[in-house]
Chains A and B, each alone.
Chain A
Amino acid sequence: MARSKAASASPISARSATDFAPPRSLLWLQGLLCGGLVTLAMPTALLLAVLFGPAVVAAVLDRQPGRPIARCVALVSLSAITGPITLLWAGGQTMAAALVLATDPDAVGWAWGAAAAGWLLAELLPVGVRILVEVASRSRATALAAARKRLEVEWGFSPAANPNPK
């Protein structure tokens, strides 16, 4: 009962993070895919484990519904590891090549830097958008107050009780 009340009061915030966890069958499917990848493409799996590690960490740490930060980190990281993966596949997908790439500071730096950039992007953009929205609200409130004042002057309406919107 309490849960349903809380859910009706604030439907997004009240839902627990576990509600957004993938279904158990999907988890099995992911495990199967990962297992298949490790079995069939070990070098690729190794390289992904190193370069895509921050995105996986973000996915584990991000408890927000829909994991928006992990999603952003993953997308940016994917764009950064596309080059090393392509190189690995072009070189025959050997363990040696995978180890070289996985230990290459440039490749790892780009991949992790991209993950950091994705994280920053996911953290800073909401703040920026909120600033923009608040500025727009203030501007609209000022315009509305001015319109009200004009009506008060023209028609003799009583002034607003609280003319300054927060």
Chain B
Amino acid sequence: METQPLSPIAGRYRVEAHQPVDGAGGGLPAFAVTNLEHGREKLIAIQMLRRLPARAGAIAALGRPIDHLMHPVAHGAAPGPDGHVENFILCPAPPGPSLARAPHTWSEAALLDLLLRPAAQVLHALHDIGLTHRAIRPDNVFAAAPGQKITLGCAWASPPASLQPALFEPPGVAMCVASGRGEGCFADDIYALGALMVTLAAGASPLAGLDDATIIRRKLELGSYAALLGDHRLPPALADLARGMLAEDPEHRPGAALLMDPVAARTRRVAARPARRAQRRFRFGDPPPADDIARIHDPNAGTISDARQLAYELATHPLPGLAALRDGSVGSWLRRGLGDSGLAARIDEAMRPQGGDAEDTQTASLALLRVVAVLDPLAPVAWEGIAILPDGIGPALAAALDIDRTTIGKLERLIAAEAISAWGQAREDRCDAGLLRIAARQLRAVQRQRGAGGAGLNDDAARLAYRLNPMLPCASPLVAGHLVLRLADLLPALNANRSGFAASRPIDAHVCAFVAARAERRLDSDLAAITATDADAEGALAQLSLLAHIQAIFSPQPQPGLALWLVERSLALGQLWRRRDRQAQFAVQIRALAEIGLFGPMLALVEDPTSRAADRNEARQAEAALRRIDADLAQLRTGSQERAMFSVQLGQEVAAGIGLALLAAVLTVQALS
């Protein structure tokens, strides 16, 4: 693998990969940055993990600095600590250690003045430009020293909320797969800030150390505020604020602008109607064993007392949940235990198959999805045991690509079934069902786009992942060690890695999917011609055509190394010509063109229609001549007997002719004499 010199990020920042800055990345690796123009601003570089694509929209939208926020200054590629090229996002260095590294109990005044107000200012500024932060947690909030205002850390280098513990997320979001939580809503930031405030006020949360499922169940059982605080008591003002910020319904949480004035925020009390609870707890499926860890922490684990808990258990245990729905035990409990016949009727309605066979897996999954959405309108899309929010599908695909086929399969089926559309229709009062229907159809259209990869290299999941994540680098082993975010980066990376290619082709399923996603259908015809094998000439021609068009449109630099490698290793190209002397002549000509490094002239040479048509015609004539020769030779081999008979007949006729001629001559002579 050749290393290519990288220019400094934004022309002046050099990432010092050998100088890690511990704890500054909020869970991601962070490194020191040298400003080559001697600027006074101190920056750090936060490494973006390859399978956790950065938030491209947020990075683009954050054009100006925001006080108390580690905003993105620049981003780009630089050598990482292992020497491979990685993507980094540059942010102002945090003012001090994270709150997780300097734990102490915060006073009410400190919480309001040093945490709440500056954080609310940041969130207000972000929300003004339509962005969420989604990374408010102790290890991503920094303070120079006790008594100093906090700074919110970087939230742009990974998918939104992908590194958030369940403790700091509403239960409906926490139950999602980590990368599939989506951009979320402004109220999710308020919830995280409230959870952080409660945690700092209490010194430690009673939920700390519990697994995610237990935390979610506890929050659903007790309510977030009570679950987070446990037996601890907060001062009344703080308690009122925290209760509002941790409200279960996002619409009941105060906005960031209101929180900048905590006194006013405290007075805003939204009285939420308490959820209907059953006296008799309900359980479906097999009871957990006595030594089950969740049951040790919570004797009521797995038992249900309200609709939201029921929704959660159905979402996380789809098979026993469906069985319980079908045998009527759920409906019965809703009517008799919970006393909500209306809800039970809506569940029955949601369970009815809508345009499918009731026994079909997809129909059953859609029915369960609708039931969960009816039971808990705040719950995410529940599909085959995983939960996800619609705009989190892309990052979730990226995180699972090549390493979690089970999740990939579930997500592919989710898209194929247009599940997010069904989810939107089941909770129309909470979302724009029309927009979700359009989004679902767009996703499915991308999934069904079969142009890429022909028969053997098609990878719907990879194509979707690249399409939905503009900052997801190409994960092909052919470009290992390089950061290929754009099509312009592809050819230089292939050129640098060519000596390590195991196969005799520079294109694999990942490259196909990446090109299909990034080229926006401009190269579909080339991709459709790519075949799984490189043995045939047309497949080799398709590869060359794809490379030529990528070079022409996206990356005009000559790539002589890759071109020569292709000419030397992809022997099938020569097979486009039938006549041997033309093949030899072609080899000389294409090698000369490859040394220049431009694929376009190589393609023109290969595709020369006049010469190829003449070659084909001559080849057909030669084949016909060969058939004639073979037939004649076969006739000569097998015609010995016929020739013998012919020879005898001819010889006898000639003898008779000679006798006749002799007789005629004698008679003529005698007649004349």
Which residues of A pack against B, CB within 8 Å?
12, 68-69, 71-76, 78-80, 82-83, 86, 118, 121-122, 124-130, 132-134, 137, 140-141, 144-145, 147-148, 151, 153-157, 160, 162-163, 165-166
Interface residue B345 (Cβ < 8 Å from any Cβ of A) = no
Interface residue B643 (Cβ < 8 Å from any Cβ of A) = yes
- Once the chains bind, are B662 and A75 in contact (CB under 8 Å)? yes
Interface residue B670 (Cβ < 8 Å from any Cβ of A) = yes
- Once the chains bind, are A121 and B625 in contact (CB under 8 Å)? no
- Once the chains bind, are A151 and B655 in contact (CB under 8 Å)? no
Given A82-B667, A82-B670, is A154 in contact with B581 using a C-beta cutoff of 8 Å? yes
Query: Closest chain B residue to A122 by CB distance?
Result: B655
User: Inside 8 A of A153's CB, which chain B residues have their CB?
Assistant: 580
Q: How far is it, in angstroms, between the C-alpha of A134 and the C-alpha of B644 when the chains are bound?
A: 9
Pick the contact of B647 from A79, A122, A133 — CB < 8 Å? Answer: A133
Q: What would 11 more interface pairs be, CB under 8 Å, given A122-B652, A132-B647, A144-B636?
A: A79-B665, A82-B670, A124-B651, A125-B654, A129-B648, A129-B654, A130-B648, A133-B646, A148-B629, A153-B580, A155-B619
Pick the contact of B651 from A71, A130, A160 — CB < 8 Å? Answer: A130
State the Cβ distance, A15 to closest chain B Cβ, in Å: 13
Q: How far is it, in angstroms, between the C-alpha of A118 and the C-alpha of B581 when the chains are bound?
A: 60
Q: How far is it, in angstroms, between the C-alpha of A152 and the C-alpha of B643 when the chains are bound?
A: 29
Given A125-B655, A128-B651, is A155 in contact with B662 using a C-beta cutoff of 8 Å? no
Q: How far is it, in angstroms, between the C-alpha of A148 and the C-alpha of B623 when the chains are bound?
A: 10
Given A68-B655, A126-B648, is A134 in contact with B666 using a C-beta cutoff of 8 Å? no
Interface size for chain B: under 10, 10 to 19, 20 to 34, or 35 or more residues?
35 or more
- Once the chains bind, are A140 and B663 in contact (CB under 8 Å)? no
User: Inside 8 A of A82's CB, which chain B residues have their CB?
Assistant: 663, 666-667, 670
Q: How far is it, in angstroms, between the C-alpha of A114 and the C-alpha of B357 when the chains are bound?
A: 106
- Once the chains bind, are B663 and A79 in contact (CB under 8 Å)? yes
User: Inside 8 A of B655's CB, which chain A residues have their CB?
Assistant: 68, 72, 118, 121-122, 125-126
Interface residue B358 (Cβ < 8 Å from any Cβ of A) = no
Query: Closest chain A residue to B634 by CB distance?
Result: A165
User: Inside 8 A of B670's CB, which chain A residues have their CB?
Assistant: 82-83, 86
Pick the contact of A126 from B579, B633, B651, B659 — CB < 8 Å? Answer: B651
- Once the chains bind, are B622 and A141 in contact (CB under 8 Å)? no
Q: How far is it, in angstroms, between the C-alpha of A113 and the C-alpha of B64 when the chains are bound?
A: 130
State the Cβ distance, A61 to closest chain B Cβ, in Å: 15
Give B594-647 interface residues, CB cut-off 8 Å to A: 619, 622-623, 625-626, 629-630, 632-633, 636-637, 639-640, 643-647
Pick the contact of A148 from B580, B633, B645, B665 — CB < 8 Å? Answer: B633
Query: Closest chain A residue to B622 by CB distance?
Result: A155
Pick the contact of B643 from A118, A134, A160 — CB < 8 Å? Answer: A134
Given A75-B663, A154-B579, is A125 in contact with B651 using a C-beta cutoff of 8 Å? yes
- Once the chains bind, are A141 and B633 in contact (CB under 8 Å)? yes
Interface centre among B633, B643, B649 (most CB of A within 10 A): B633
Pick the contact of B662 from A79, A127, A137, A145 — CB < 8 Å? Answer: A79
Query: Closest chain B residue to A78 by CB distance?
Result: B663
Interface residue B650 (Cβ < 8 Å from any Cβ of A) = yes
1/0 per position for B422-447, CB-CB distance to A under 8 A? 00000000000000000000000000
State the Cβ distance, A75 to closest chain B Cβ, in Å: 3
Q: How far is it, in angstroms, between the C-alpha of A79 and the C-alpha of B664 when the chains are bound?
A: 8
10 A/B residue pairs, CB under 8 Å, sorted by A = A74-B659, A75-B660, A78-B663, A118-B655, A137-B639, A140-B632, A144-B636, A151-B625, A151-B626, A154-B622
Query: Closest chain B residue to A69 by CB distance?
Result: B652
Q: How far is it, in angstroms, between the C-alpha of A90 and the C-alpha of B235 when the chains are bound?
A: 169
Q: How far is it, in angstroms, between the C-alpha of A79 and the C-alpha of B619 when the chains are bound?
A: 61
Given A68-B656, A75-B662, A130-B644, is A141 in contact with B636 using a C-beta cutoff of 8 Å? yes
- Once the chains bind, are A147 and B652 in contact (CB under 8 Å)? no
Q: How far is it, in angstroms, between the C-alpha of A75 and the C-alpha of B652 when the chains are bound?
A: 13
State the Cβ distance, A84 to closest chain B Cβ, in Å: 11
Interface residue B61 (Cβ < 8 Å from any Cβ of A) = no
Q: How far is it, in angstroms, between the C-alpha of A71 and the C-alpha of B630 when the chains are bound?
A: 41
State the Cβ distance, A127 to closest chain B Cβ, in Å: 7
Interface centre among B622, B640, B651, B654 (most CB of A within 10 A): B651
Pick the contact of A162 from B637, B643, B666, B667 — CB < 8 Å? Answer: B637
User: Inside 8 A of A72's CB, which chain B residues have their CB?
Assistant: 652, 655-656, 658-659
- Once the chains bind, are B629 and A144 in contact (CB under 8 Å)? yes
User: Inside 8 A of B644's CB, which chain A residues have their CB?
Assistant: 130
User: Inside 8 A of A79's CB, which chain B residues have their CB?
Assistant: 659, 662-663, 665-667
Pick the contact of B578 from A124, A130, A133, A155 — CB < 8 Å? Answer: A155
Q: How far is it, in angstroms, between the C-alpha of A83 and the C-alpha of B671 when the chains are bound?
A: 11
Given A76-B659, A79-B663, A82-B667, is A165 in contact with B652 using a C-beta cutoff of 8 Å? no
Pick the contact of B580 from A68, A76, A133, A155 — CB < 8 Å? Answer: A155
Q: How far is it, in angstroms, between the C-alpha of A132 and the C-alpha of B648 when the chains are bound?
A: 12
- Once the chains bind, are B654 and A156 in contact (CB under 8 Å)? no
- Once the chains bind, are A160 and B633 in contact (CB under 8 Å)? yes
Q: How far is it, in angstroms, between the C-alpha of A34 and the C-alpha of B88 when the chains are bound?
A: 126
- Once the chains bind, are B637 and A154 in contact (CB under 8 Å)? no
User: Inside 8 A of B659's CB, which chain A residues have their CB?
Assistant: 71-76, 79, 118, 121
Given A130-B644, A144-B629, is A75 in contact with B651 using a C-beta cutoff of 8 Å? no
Q: How far is it, in angstroms, between the C-alpha of A151 and the C-alpha of B581 when the chains are bound?
A: 12
Interface centre among B623, B646, B654, B655 (most CB of A within 10 A): B655
Given A122-B655, A155-B578, is A144 in contact with B633 using a C-beta cutoff of 8 Å? yes
Query: Closest chain B residue to A71 by CB distance?
Result: B656
User: Inside 8 A of A12's CB, which chain B residues have their CB?
Assistant: 645
State the Cβ distance, A93 to closest chain B Cβ, in Å: 17
Q: How far is it, in angstroms, between the C-alpha of A132 and the C-alpha of B650 when the chains are bound?
A: 11
Q: How far is it, in angstroms, between the C-alpha of A73 and the C-alpha of B658 when the chains are bound?
A: 11
Q: How far is it, in angstroms, between the C-alpha of A22 and the C-alpha of B659 when the chains are bound?
A: 22
State the Cβ distance, B294 to closest chain A Cβ, in Å: 71
- Once the chains bind, are A126 and B636 in contact (CB under 8 Å)? no
State the Cβ distance, B82 to closest chain A Cβ, in Å: 48
Q: How far is it, in angstroms, between the C-alpha of A129 and the C-alpha of B653 when the chains are bound?
A: 11
User: Inside 8 A of A124's CB, which chain B residues have their CB?
Assistant: 651
User: Inside 8 A of A134's CB, which chain B residues have their CB?
Assistant: 643, 647
State the Cβ distance, B276 to closest chain A Cβ, in Å: 83
Q: How far is it, in angstroms, between the C-alpha of A74 and the C-alpha of B656 when the chains are bound?
A: 9
- Once the chains bind, are B650 and A129 in contact (CB under 8 Å)? yes
State the Cβ distance, B408 to closest chain A Cβ, in Å: 45
State the Cβ distance, B286 to closest chain A Cβ, in Å: 68
User: Inside 8 A of B637's CB, which chain A residues have their CB?
Assistant: 162, 165-166
State the Cβ distance, B673 to closest chain A Cβ, in Å: 9
A-B pairs with lowest CB-CB distance, top 4 = A126-B651, A75-B659, A130-B647, A68-B652
Query: Closest chain B residue to A74 by CB distance?
Result: B659
User: Inside 8 A of B645's CB, which chain A residues have their CB?
Assistant: 12
State the Cβ distance, B88 to closest chain A Cβ, in Å: 54
User: Inside 8 A of A132's CB, which chain B residues have their CB?
Assistant: 647
Query: Closest chain B residue to A114 by CB distance?
Result: B662
Interface centre among B623, B650, B659 (most CB of A within 10 A): B659
Pick the contact of A76 from B581, B622, B662 — CB < 8 Å? Answer: B662
Q: How far is it, in angstroms, between the C-alpha of A118 and the C-alpha of B656 when the chains are bound?
A: 9
State the Cβ distance, B428 to closest chain A Cβ, in Å: 68
- Once the chains bind, are A129 and B580 in contact (CB under 8 Å)? no
Given A122-B652, A144-B636, A155-B619, is A130 in contact with B643 using a C-beta cutoff of 8 Å? yes
Given A75-B663, A140-B636, is A151 in contact with B629 using a C-beta cutoff of 8 Å? yes
Pick the contact of A147 from B625, B640, B654, B665 — CB < 8 Å? Answer: B625
